[in-house]
Protein backbone atom coordinates (compact mmCIF):
# COMPACT_ATOMS: atom_id res chain seq x y z
CA UNK A 1 0.00 0.00 0.00
CA UNK A 2 1.26 3.51 -0.85
CA UNK A 3 0.90 5.14 2.56
CA UNK A 4 2.22 8.49 1.33
CA UNK A 5 -0.61 8.65 -1.24
CA UNK A 6 -3.10 8.38 1.64
CA UNK A 7 -1.85 11.62 3.12
CA UNK A 8 -2.13 14.38 0.50
CA UNK A 9 -0.23 17.51 1.47
CA UNK A 10 1.62 15.78 4.31
CA UNK A 11 5.05 17.00 3.19
CA UNK A 12 4.16 20.58 2.28
CA UNK A 13 2.48 21.78 5.48
CA UNK A 14 3.63 25.18 6.73
CA UNK A 15 2.84 24.43 10.40
CA UNK A 16 2.22 28.00 11.58
CA UNK A 17 1.77 26.76 15.15
CA UNK A 18 5.40 25.54 15.04
CA UNK A 19 6.58 28.69 13.28
CA UNK A 20 5.43 30.81 16.22
CA UNK A 21 7.57 28.73 18.59
CA UNK A 22 10.82 29.26 16.69
CA UNK A 23 12.70 32.21 18.27
CA UNK A 24 13.08 35.22 15.93
CA UNK A 25 16.72 35.47 17.03
CA UNK A 26 17.60 31.85 16.18
CA UNK A 27 20.54 32.06 13.76
CA UNK A 28 20.96 28.36 12.90
CA UNK A 29 18.02 25.95 12.64
CA UNK A 30 17.90 22.24 11.90
CA UNK A 31 14.54 20.83 10.79
CA UNK A 32 14.31 17.04 11.08
CA UNK A 33 11.68 15.65 8.74
CA UNK A 34 11.50 19.01 6.97
CA UNK A 35 9.20 17.87 4.13
CA UNK A 36 9.22 20.32 1.25
CA UNK A 37 10.69 23.01 3.47
CA UNK A 38 7.63 25.24 3.79
CA UNK A 39 8.34 25.91 7.47
CA UNK A 40 11.97 26.80 6.74
CA UNK A 41 10.92 29.01 3.84
CA UNK A 42 8.63 31.01 6.13
CA UNK A 43 11.33 31.29 8.80
CA UNK A 44 13.92 32.54 6.30
CA UNK A 45 11.46 35.15 5.03
CA UNK A 46 10.99 36.31 8.63
CA UNK A 47 14.58 36.34 9.87
CA UNK A 48 18.17 36.04 8.80
CA UNK A 49 19.40 32.52 9.58
CA UNK A 50 21.01 29.33 8.32
CA UNK A 51 18.25 26.76 7.89
CA UNK A 52 19.04 23.10 7.21
CA UNK A 53 16.83 20.06 6.96
CA UNK A 54 16.80 16.28 6.78
CA UNK A 55 14.10 14.55 4.74
CA UNK A 56 13.69 10.95 3.55
CA UNK A 57 11.14 11.47 0.78
CA UNK A 58 12.97 12.07 -2.53
CA UNK A 59 10.49 14.48 -4.12
CA UNK A 60 10.00 16.46 -0.93
CA UNK A 61 13.75 16.76 -0.27
CA UNK A 62 14.34 18.07 -3.81
CA UNK A 63 11.74 20.79 -3.31
CA UNK A 64 13.10 21.62 0.15
CA UNK A 65 16.56 22.11 -1.34
CA UNK A 66 15.18 25.07 -3.31
CA UNK A 67 14.00 26.76 -0.09
CA UNK A 68 16.63 25.89 2.53
CA UNK A 69 20.36 26.43 2.83
CA UNK A 70 21.17 22.73 3.09
CA UNK A 71 19.12 19.53 2.85
CA UNK A 72 20.23 15.98 3.47
CA UNK A 73 18.10 13.21 2.00
CA UNK A 74 18.40 10.46 4.58
CA UNK A 75 16.62 8.23 7.10
CA UNK A 76 16.73 9.69 10.63
CA UNK A 77 16.89 6.16 12.06
CA UNK A 78 20.43 5.87 10.70
CA UNK A 79 21.47 9.47 9.97
CA UNK A 80 25.07 10.27 10.94
CA UNK A 81 25.47 13.71 12.46
CA UNK A 82 29.12 14.19 11.46
CA UNK A 83 28.22 16.07 8.21
CA UNK A 84 26.41 18.74 10.22
CA UNK A 85 29.70 20.21 11.48
CA UNK A 86 28.06 22.87 13.65
CA UNK A 87 25.90 23.55 16.68
CA UNK A 88 22.35 24.72 16.10
CA UNK A 89 20.46 27.31 18.11
CA UNK A 90 17.16 25.56 17.33
CA UNK A 91 16.37 21.96 16.34
CA UNK A 92 12.84 21.07 15.20
CA UNK A 93 11.17 17.65 15.50
CA UNK A 94 7.75 18.41 14.01
CA UNK A 95 5.68 15.21 14.11
CA UNK A 96 8.66 12.97 13.37
CA UNK A 97 9.72 11.17 16.57
CA UNK A 98 6.65 8.94 16.52
CA UNK A 99 7.66 7.70 13.03
CA UNK A 100 11.08 6.46 14.14
CA UNK A 101 11.95 2.89 15.02
CA UNK A 102 13.74 3.93 18.21
CA UNK A 103 13.29 7.67 18.82
CA UNK A 104 15.03 7.83 22.21
CA UNK A 105 18.66 7.50 20.96
CA UNK A 106 17.86 9.67 17.94
CA UNK A 107 16.84 12.50 20.26
CA UNK A 108 19.99 11.94 22.35
CA UNK A 109 22.15 12.04 19.22
CA UNK A 110 20.83 15.38 18.04
CA UNK A 111 21.13 16.94 21.50
CA UNK A 112 24.89 16.79 20.87
CA UNK A 113 24.30 19.17 17.93
CA UNK A 114 22.42 21.68 20.11
CA UNK A 115 24.13 24.87 21.24
CA UNK A 116 24.37 25.22 25.02
CA UNK A 117 21.77 28.00 24.98
CA UNK A 118 19.75 26.48 22.15
CA UNK A 119 16.28 24.94 22.24
CA UNK A 120 14.58 21.89 20.82
CA UNK A 121 11.02 22.23 19.54
CA UNK A 122 8.87 19.15 19.06
CA UNK A 123 5.29 18.28 18.30
CA UNK A 124 4.17 14.78 19.30
CA UNK A 125 0.71 13.15 19.01
CA UNK A 126 -1.03 12.36 22.30
CA UNK A 127 -2.11 8.73 22.45
CA UNK A 128 -3.96 9.47 25.72
CA UNK A 129 -6.47 11.67 23.89
CA UNK A 130 -10.01 11.14 25.30
CA UNK A 131 -11.19 9.78 21.95
CA UNK A 132 -8.45 7.13 21.94
CA UNK A 133 -9.35 6.14 25.51
CA UNK A 134 -13.01 5.79 24.53
CA UNK A 135 -12.06 3.69 21.51
CA UNK A 136 -9.88 1.41 23.65
CA UNK A 137 -12.78 0.91 26.05
CA UNK A 138 -14.69 -0.38 23.03
CA UNK A 139 -11.81 -2.70 22.17
CA UNK A 140 -10.75 -0.60 19.17
CA UNK A 141 -7.35 0.73 18.06
CA UNK A 142 -7.99 1.72 14.47
CA UNK A 143 -5.16 3.05 12.32
CA UNK A 144 -5.91 5.72 9.76
CA UNK A 145 -4.22 7.71 7.00
CA UNK A 146 -3.38 10.59 9.35
CA UNK A 147 -3.82 11.83 12.92
CA UNK A 148 -2.91 10.26 16.25
CA UNK A 149 -3.21 6.71 14.90
CA UNK A 150 -1.48 7.46 11.60
CA UNK A 151 -0.70 4.09 10.02
CA UNK A 152 2.99 5.06 9.71
CA UNK A 153 3.40 5.79 13.43
CA UNK A 154 5.73 3.31 15.11
CA UNK A 155 5.75 4.80 18.62
CA UNK A 156 3.06 6.31 20.83
CA UNK A 157 3.44 8.85 23.62
CA UNK A 158 1.43 10.46 26.41
CA UNK A 159 2.28 13.55 28.44
CA UNK A 160 4.21 11.54 31.04
CA UNK A 161 6.22 9.48 28.56
CA UNK A 162 7.14 12.59 26.56
CA UNK A 163 8.67 14.08 29.69
CA UNK A 164 10.45 10.80 30.42
CA UNK A 165 11.96 10.69 26.91
CA UNK A 166 13.24 14.25 27.10
CA UNK A 167 14.71 13.65 30.56
CA UNK A 168 16.57 10.60 29.24
CA UNK A 169 18.03 12.83 26.53
CA UNK A 170 19.33 15.22 29.20
CA UNK A 171 16.80 17.91 28.31
CA UNK A 172 14.74 20.19 30.49
CA UNK A 173 11.21 20.92 29.22
CA UNK A 174 10.51 24.63 29.69
CA UNK A 175 7.40 24.91 27.55
CA UNK A 176 4.56 22.43 27.09
CA UNK A 177 1.14 22.99 25.58
CA UNK A 178 -1.75 20.83 24.36
CA UNK A 179 -2.77 21.53 20.76
CA UNK A 180 -5.16 22.68 19.47
CA UNK A 181 -6.58 23.08 22.98
CA UNK A 182 -6.58 21.69 26.49
CA UNK A 183 -9.99 20.17 25.82
CA UNK A 184 -8.84 18.61 22.56
CA UNK A 185 -5.17 17.64 23.09
CA UNK A 186 -4.49 15.93 19.75
CA UNK A 187 -0.79 16.60 20.19
CA UNK A 188 1.64 18.33 22.50
CA UNK A 189 4.09 21.07 21.62
CA UNK A 190 7.34 20.93 23.55
CA UNK A 191 10.14 23.44 24.06
CA UNK A 192 13.23 22.03 25.76
CA UNK A 193 16.81 23.01 26.46
CA UNK A 194 19.89 21.78 28.24
CA UNK A 195 19.54 22.43 31.98
CA UNK A 196 22.01 24.53 33.96
CA UNK A 197 23.14 21.75 36.28
CA UNK A 198 25.44 22.39 39.24
CA UNK A 199 27.23 19.05 38.81
CA UNK A 200 28.35 17.55 35.51
CA UNK A 201 28.02 13.99 36.82
CA UNK A 202 25.66 13.10 39.65
CA UNK A 203 26.06 10.37 42.26
CA UNK A 204 22.48 10.62 43.42
CA UNK A 205 19.13 11.36 41.83
CA UNK A 206 16.84 13.11 44.31
CA UNK A 207 13.23 12.29 43.42
CA UNK A 208 10.61 14.65 44.81
CA UNK A 209 6.90 13.89 44.45
CA UNK A 210 4.69 16.97 44.29
CA UNK A 211 0.97 17.60 44.07
CA UNK A 212 -0.47 21.08 44.70
CA UNK A 213 2.05 21.95 47.41
CA UNK A 214 3.83 24.78 45.60
CA UNK A 215 5.16 26.69 48.61
CA UNK A 216 6.44 23.55 50.32
CA UNK A 217 7.86 22.16 47.07
CA UNK A 218 9.85 25.35 46.51
CA UNK A 219 11.10 25.25 50.11
CA UNK A 220 12.18 21.63 49.70
CA UNK A 221 14.05 22.27 46.46
CA UNK A 222 15.75 25.41 47.72
CA UNK A 223 16.97 23.64 50.86
CA UNK A 224 18.44 20.84 48.75
CA UNK A 225 20.23 23.34 46.53
CA UNK A 226 21.65 25.19 49.54
CA UNK A 227 22.70 22.33 51.79
CA UNK A 228 23.66 19.53 49.39
CA UNK A 229 27.25 19.60 48.16
CA UNK A 230 27.71 15.99 47.07
CA UNK A 231 27.09 15.64 43.28
CA UNK A 232 23.40 15.12 42.65
CA UNK A 233 20.51 16.05 40.38
CA UNK A 234 16.94 16.87 41.28
CA UNK A 235 14.03 15.25 39.46
CA UNK A 236 10.55 16.36 40.51
CA UNK A 237 7.64 14.11 39.59
CA UNK A 238 4.49 16.22 39.58
CA UNK A 239 1.14 14.48 39.93
CA UNK A 240 -0.99 16.94 37.99
CA UNK A 241 -0.69 20.10 40.08
CA UNK A 242 -3.01 23.01 39.30
CA UNK A 243 -1.75 25.50 41.90
CA UNK A 244 1.10 27.11 39.94
CA UNK A 245 3.68 24.41 40.72
CA UNK A 246 4.14 23.60 37.01
CA UNK A 247 5.07 27.19 36.16
CA UNK A 248 7.74 27.09 38.85
CA UNK A 249 9.10 23.71 37.76
CA UNK A 250 9.30 24.70 34.09
CA UNK A 251 11.08 27.95 34.97
CA UNK A 252 13.75 26.42 37.20
CA UNK A 253 16.61 25.58 34.81
CA UNK A 254 18.64 23.83 37.54
CA UNK A 255 16.28 20.87 37.96
CA UNK A 256 14.52 18.25 35.88
CA UNK A 257 10.84 17.46 36.18
CA UNK A 258 8.18 15.12 34.80
CA UNK A 259 4.52 16.15 34.56
CA UNK A 260 1.81 13.55 35.03
CA UNK A 261 -1.70 14.33 33.82
CA UNK A 262 -3.38 13.41 37.11
CA UNK A 263 -2.64 12.38 40.69
CA UNK A 264 -1.05 8.95 40.37
CA UNK A 265 -0.43 8.67 44.09
CA UNK A 266 2.80 7.81 45.89
CA UNK A 267 3.69 4.44 44.36
CA UNK A 268 2.79 5.09 40.72
CA UNK A 269 4.15 8.62 40.87
CA UNK A 270 7.54 7.64 42.23
CA UNK A 271 7.75 4.64 39.89
CA UNK A 272 7.60 7.07 36.95
CA UNK A 273 10.84 8.56 38.29
CA UNK A 274 12.39 5.25 39.32
CA UNK A 275 12.22 4.12 35.69
CA UNK A 276 14.68 6.91 34.91
CA UNK A 277 17.33 6.33 37.58
CA UNK A 278 20.85 6.31 36.11
CA UNK A 279 22.93 7.12 39.22
CA UNK A 280 24.41 4.81 41.90
CA UNK A 281 22.00 6.17 44.54
CA UNK A 282 18.56 7.71 44.62
CA UNK A 283 16.41 9.47 47.21
CA UNK A 284 12.65 9.37 47.61
CA UNK A 285 11.50 12.66 49.11
CA UNK A 286 8.16 14.16 50.01
CA UNK A 287 7.62 17.74 48.87
CA UNK A 288 7.36 19.08 52.43
CA UNK A 289 10.84 18.62 53.89
CA UNK A 290 13.85 20.78 54.68
CA UNK A 291 17.25 19.10 54.46
CA UNK A 292 20.25 19.98 56.61
CA UNK A 293 23.89 20.77 55.90
CA UNK A 294 25.89 17.90 54.42
CA UNK A 295 23.12 15.31 54.78
CA UNK A 296 23.82 13.45 51.53
CA UNK A 297 27.54 12.96 52.16
CA UNK A 298 26.86 11.50 55.60
CA UNK A 299 24.05 9.24 54.39
CA UNK A 300 26.11 7.85 51.51
CA UNK A 301 28.96 7.09 53.93
CA UNK A 302 26.50 5.33 56.23
CA UNK A 303 24.78 3.25 53.56
CA UNK A 304 28.15 2.17 52.15
CA UNK A 305 29.30 0.91 55.55
CA UNK A 306 27.31 -2.30 55.01
CA UNK A 307 27.02 -4.02 51.62
CA UNK A 308 23.70 -5.53 52.67
CA UNK A 309 22.20 -2.13 53.53
CA UNK A 310 19.90 -0.99 50.71
CA UNK A 311 17.67 1.62 52.36
CA UNK A 312 18.60 4.38 54.81
CA UNK A 313 16.37 6.95 56.47
CA UNK A 314 17.15 10.00 58.64
CA UNK A 315 15.83 11.14 62.00
CA UNK A 316 13.02 13.67 61.93
CA UNK A 317 10.52 15.67 63.95
CA UNK A 318 7.48 14.28 62.09
CA UNK A 319 7.68 10.56 61.40
CA UNK A 320 6.26 7.41 62.93
CA UNK A 321 8.38 4.84 64.74
CA UNK A 322 11.87 5.16 66.23
CA UNK A 323 13.07 7.62 63.57
CA UNK A 324 11.14 10.33 65.38
CA UNK A 325 12.92 12.70 67.75
CA UNK A 326 10.42 14.16 70.19
CA UNK A 327 10.47 17.65 71.67
CA UNK A 328 12.91 19.11 69.15
CA UNK A 329 14.13 22.51 70.39
CA UNK A 330 14.31 24.53 67.16
CA UNK A 331 11.62 27.06 66.26
CA UNK A 332 12.96 28.30 62.91
CA UNK A 333 15.02 27.01 60.01
CA UNK A 334 18.24 28.61 61.22
CA UNK A 335 17.94 26.84 64.55
CA UNK A 336 17.14 23.64 62.63
CA UNK A 337 20.57 23.69 61.03
CA UNK A 338 22.26 24.25 64.37
CA UNK A 339 20.31 21.39 65.93
CA UNK A 340 21.14 19.00 63.07
CA UNK A 341 24.83 19.86 63.35
CA UNK A 342 24.91 18.71 66.97
CA UNK A 343 23.64 15.26 65.96
CA UNK A 344 26.60 14.39 63.77
CA UNK A 345 28.34 12.46 66.58
CA UNK A 346 25.56 10.78 68.56
CA UNK A 347 26.35 8.53 71.51
CA UNK A 348 24.13 5.80 70.07
CA UNK A 349 26.29 5.37 66.95
CA UNK A 350 25.58 6.44 63.39
CA UNK A 351 23.22 3.60 62.43
CA UNK A 352 20.20 1.92 63.93
CA UNK A 353 19.06 -1.14 61.98
CA UNK A 354 15.31 -1.33 61.79
CA UNK A 355 13.03 -3.26 59.49
CA UNK A 356 10.64 -0.38 58.75
CA UNK A 357 11.92 2.91 57.34
CA UNK A 358 9.43 5.65 56.52
CA UNK A 359 9.72 6.86 52.94
CA UNK A 360 8.93 10.51 53.61
CA UNK A 361 12.66 10.79 52.91
CA UNK A 362 15.02 7.87 52.28
CA UNK A 363 18.26 7.08 50.46
CA UNK A 364 18.66 3.87 48.44
CA UNK A 365 21.40 2.09 46.58
CA UNK A 366 20.16 1.84 43.00
CA UNK A 367 20.87 -1.88 43.03
CA UNK A 368 17.68 -2.14 45.12
CA UNK A 369 15.69 -1.70 41.90
CA UNK A 370 17.21 -4.89 40.49
CA UNK A 371 17.16 -6.86 43.73
CA UNK A 372 13.81 -5.71 45.16
CA UNK A 373 11.98 -4.01 42.29
CA UNK A 374 9.74 -0.97 42.17
CA UNK A 375 7.10 0.24 44.60
CA UNK A 376 3.90 -1.77 44.76
CA UNK A 377 1.20 0.31 43.07
CA UNK A 378 -1.74 -1.40 44.75
CA UNK A 379 -1.42 1.07 47.66
CA UNK A 380 -3.39 4.01 46.31
CA UNK A 381 -2.46 7.65 46.95
CA UNK A 382 -0.10 6.95 49.85
CA UNK A 383 0.81 4.92 52.96
CA UNK A 384 2.11 1.36 53.36
CA UNK A 385 4.29 1.45 50.23
CA UNK A 386 7.26 1.86 52.57
CA UNK A 387 6.13 -0.91 54.96
CA UNK A 388 5.73 -3.22 51.99
CA UNK A 389 9.08 -2.35 50.41
CA UNK A 390 10.95 -2.81 53.67
CA UNK A 391 9.30 -6.20 54.10
CA UNK A 392 10.55 -7.13 50.65
CA UNK A 393 14.05 -5.90 51.50
CA UNK A 394 14.16 -8.09 54.60
CA UNK A 395 12.66 -11.04 52.73
CA UNK A 396 15.44 -10.85 50.15
CA UNK A 397 18.11 -10.97 52.85
CA UNK A 398 19.00 -7.27 52.85
CA UNK A 399 18.80 -4.54 55.47
CA UNK A 400 17.25 -1.18 56.22
CA UNK A 401 18.38 1.36 58.82
CA UNK A 402 18.22 5.00 59.83
CA UNK A 403 21.11 7.37 60.42
CA UNK A 404 21.19 8.90 63.87
CA UNK A 405 23.52 11.66 62.70
CA UNK A 406 21.23 13.05 59.97
CA UNK A 407 18.13 15.08 60.74
CA UNK A 408 15.56 16.15 58.13
CA UNK A 409 12.71 18.47 59.00
CA UNK A 410 9.29 17.23 57.89
CA UNK A 411 6.18 19.41 57.89
CA UNK A 412 4.05 16.30 57.49
CA UNK A 413 1.06 15.24 55.35
CA UNK A 414 0.98 18.51 53.42
CA UNK A 415 -0.26 16.81 50.23
CA UNK A 416 -3.21 15.32 52.10
CA UNK A 417 -3.98 18.61 53.87
CA UNK A 418 -3.60 20.86 50.82
CA UNK A 419 -5.76 18.62 48.64
CA UNK A 420 -8.33 17.83 51.36
CA UNK A 421 -7.73 14.10 51.08
CA UNK A 422 -9.10 11.96 53.92
CA UNK A 423 -5.81 10.68 55.38
CA UNK A 424 -7.45 8.25 57.80
CA UNK A 425 -9.62 6.68 55.10
CA UNK A 426 -6.66 6.20 52.75
CA UNK A 427 -4.57 4.79 55.60
CA UNK A 428 -7.20 2.24 56.58
CA UNK A 429 -7.76 1.10 53.01
CA UNK A 430 -4.07 0.63 52.34
CA UNK A 431 -3.59 -1.11 55.67
CA UNK A 432 -6.23 -3.59 54.59
CA UNK A 433 -4.37 -4.18 51.33
CA UNK A 434 -1.05 -4.57 53.16
CA UNK A 435 -2.37 -7.12 55.66
CA UNK A 436 -4.01 -9.10 52.89
CA UNK A 437 -0.86 -9.14 50.77
CA UNK A 438 1.34 -10.36 53.61
CA UNK A 439 -1.32 -12.59 55.17
CA UNK A 440 -1.05 -10.75 58.49
CA UNK A 441 -3.74 -10.48 61.20
CA UNK A 442 -5.51 -7.23 61.92
CA UNK A 443 -4.78 -6.39 65.55
CA UNK A 444 -8.13 -4.62 65.82
CA UNK A 445 -10.00 -7.84 65.27
List pLDDT tens digits, range 353-394. Answer: 999 999 999 999 999 999 999 998 888 766 779 889 999 999
Question: Torsions phi, psi of 9, nearest 5?
Answer: 80, 5
**Sheet of 28-32: strands edge to edge?**
70-73, 50-55, 28-32, 88-94, 114-125, 185-193, 172-180
Cis peptide before 180 (omega within 30 of 0): yes
Q: How many CA atoms lie within 13 A of 315 on its CB side?
A: 25
Of the pLDDT bands very low, low, confident and very high (cuts 50, 70, 90), residue 294 is very high
Position 68 pLDDT exceeds 70:
yes
Cα 118 from chain centroid? 21
Strands 399-410 and 289-290 turn out to be antiparallel
Query: Which residues neighbour 222 within 8 Å (Cβ) at sequence distance 6 or greater?
Result: none
Query: Which residues neighbour 87 within 8 Å (Cβ) at sequence distance 6 or greater?
Result: 28, 113, 114, 115, 116, 118
**Mean pLDDT throughout 64-82?**
95
Burial 20-57 (b: 16+ CB within 10 A, else e): ebbeeebebbbbbbbbbbbbbbbbbeeeebbbbbbbbb
Angle between helices 265-274 and 385-395 (to 10 degrees): 60
Contact 194, 116 (CB under 8 A): yes
Contact 281, 259 (CB under 8 A): no
pTM over 0.75: yes
DSSP 279: S
DSSP 275: T
Position 5 pLDDT exceeds 50:
no
Give the integer Cα–Cα distance in Å for 190 and 121.
Answer: 6
Strands (E), 85-219: 88-94, 114-125, 172-180, 185-193, 204-210
Give the integer Cα–Cα distance in Å for 312 and 191.
Answer: 37
Contact 208, 217 (CB under 8 A): yes
Contact 228, 243 (CB under 8 A): no
Q: pLDDT tens for residues 8-49?
A: 555 677 899 999 999 999 999 999 999 999 999 999 999 999
Position 168 pLDDT exceeds 80:
yes
Q: pLDDT tens for residues 99-137?
A: 999 999 999 999 999 999 999 999 999 999 999 999 999
Q: Which domains, ranges and CATH numbers included, belong to the chain? A: 4-193 (3.40.50.150), 204-437 (3.90.550.10)
Ramachandran quadrant class, 444 (left: phi over 0; alpha: psi -120 to 50; beta: rest): alpha
**Mean pLDDT throughout 438-442?**
82
Q: Distances in Å between the alpha carbon of 122 and those of 32, 177, 266? A: 10, 11, 30
Amino acid sequence: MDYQRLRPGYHNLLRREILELIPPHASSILDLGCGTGELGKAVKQRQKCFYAGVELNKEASEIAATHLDKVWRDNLNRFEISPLKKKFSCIVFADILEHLVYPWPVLVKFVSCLADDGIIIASIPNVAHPWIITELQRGLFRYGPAGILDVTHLRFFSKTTIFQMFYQAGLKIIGFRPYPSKENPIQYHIIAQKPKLKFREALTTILILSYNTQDYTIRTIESIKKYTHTPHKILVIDNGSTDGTLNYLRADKEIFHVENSCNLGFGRGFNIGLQLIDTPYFVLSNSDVVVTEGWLKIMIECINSDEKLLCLGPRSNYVSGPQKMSDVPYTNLEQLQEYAKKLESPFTGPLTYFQRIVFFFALFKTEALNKIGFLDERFELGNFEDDDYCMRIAGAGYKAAFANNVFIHHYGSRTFVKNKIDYKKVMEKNKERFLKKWNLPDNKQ
